Amino acid sequence: MQARRLAQFRASAHPFVYTPGDNEWSDCHDASGYQGVKGGNPLERLATLRKVFFEGEQSLGKRTLPLTRQSSDPAFVNYRENVRWEMGGVTFVTLHVVGSNNGLGRSPEGDAEYADRNKASLAWLHKGFEHAKTNNSRAIMIMLHANIFPDYPPFAGGRGDANPSGLTDIRVLLEKEATAFAKPVVLVHGDSHYFRIDNPFRPRSGGQPGVPSLENFMRLETFGTPNHHWGQVTVDANEPSVFTIRPRIVAANVVKRP
C-alpha cells in the first residue's frame, strides 16, 4: 500500500507535499482493524512512514520544489515531515498534527511520542511565523491534518471533550502568532470530512462583549469521504486577502442521494 501511494505522489504533474494524518499511523492501534486493516504498533508505522515518504530535500511529484525541513535543526532531527517553502511572496508550512486527539491518551508510549512531536510542532509553527516576518511575506498558509477547533461541530471522532486535549497547545499558539502577524493567515486541515471556509477565531458564545474576531485569519477544511472532491486555493500577493478559495466538485465522485 505504501509503495503504491508513493508512486501516485511521485506521478503528480505538480510539486506534491504530503503531511501525515491519523489513518496512516496513530489510528493503527485497534486489533479489530480500522476500515478492514488490522491494527499494529502505531510507533512502528510512524517510523516506516517517515522513512518511505520524507527522503531528500525536495517535494514529491514529477516537478519538484525545494523544501526546508525541520530536521535541519539538530534539536528536531526526527521531524523530516515538517517542512516550509516560499513562493510568490507567501510562506507555506506543514505541521504533523493529527486527529484522534493528536495521538494523546491511548498509551504511555503514545503520550511520550505526542509530547515530543507537540514540542516540535509548536517550535516549527513559531519558526514559520518568524520566517514570514523576517522575509516580509505577504501571507502565510499552515497545513495539518487535525481539526483543532472542537467548539464548532462537526468535530471528528467525538473527542472534543478529551481531557487533556492534544490540540489545545497548537490552537492557542496559532491564535497568538496569527494575531501578532497581522497579515492574512489561512489554516488548511481535514479530519472531520466536512468542507467549510470560516473563521473559528471569533468571540465565543457568552464571551466578553467587544472582543473582535481575528479578521486576518481563515480556515479551510477539505472534503472527506464520502465526498471525494478538492479545494482550489489561488494566491495573488497583490490582492488584499491574498488567498481565494474555491470548492471543486469532481463529477464522477458525486454521490447520488436517496
Helices marked H in 143-255 — which ranges? 168-181
157 is a domain residue: yes
Closest CA to 215 of 247, 175, 246, 251: 175
Q: Is 36 part of a structural domain of the chain?
A: no
| Cell numbers that stand for 216 in this block | 486576518
In a domain? residue 142: yes
Residue 11 lies in a domain: no
Residue 149 lies in a domain: yes
Residue 123 counted as domain residue: yes
Within-domain flag for 234: yes
Instruction: Note the pLDDT tens digit of each residue in 149-188.
Output: 998 998 986 555 677 899 999 999 999 999 999 999 999 9
Strand ordering across the sheet containing 196-198:
68-69, 83-87, 90-94, 139-143, 185-189, 217-221, 196-198
Answer whether residue 153 is part of any domain: yes
* Structural domain boundaries, residue 81: 64-253
Instruction: Report the domain count for the chain.
Output: 1
pLDDT per position as a tens digit, 16-65: 999 999 999 998 876 544 445 456 789 999 999 999 999 999 999 999 99
Indicate the pTM of the whole model: 0.92
Whether 142 and 244 have beta carbons less than 8 Å apart is answered as no
How confident is the model over 105-116, as pLDDT tens digits? Answer: 989 999 999 999
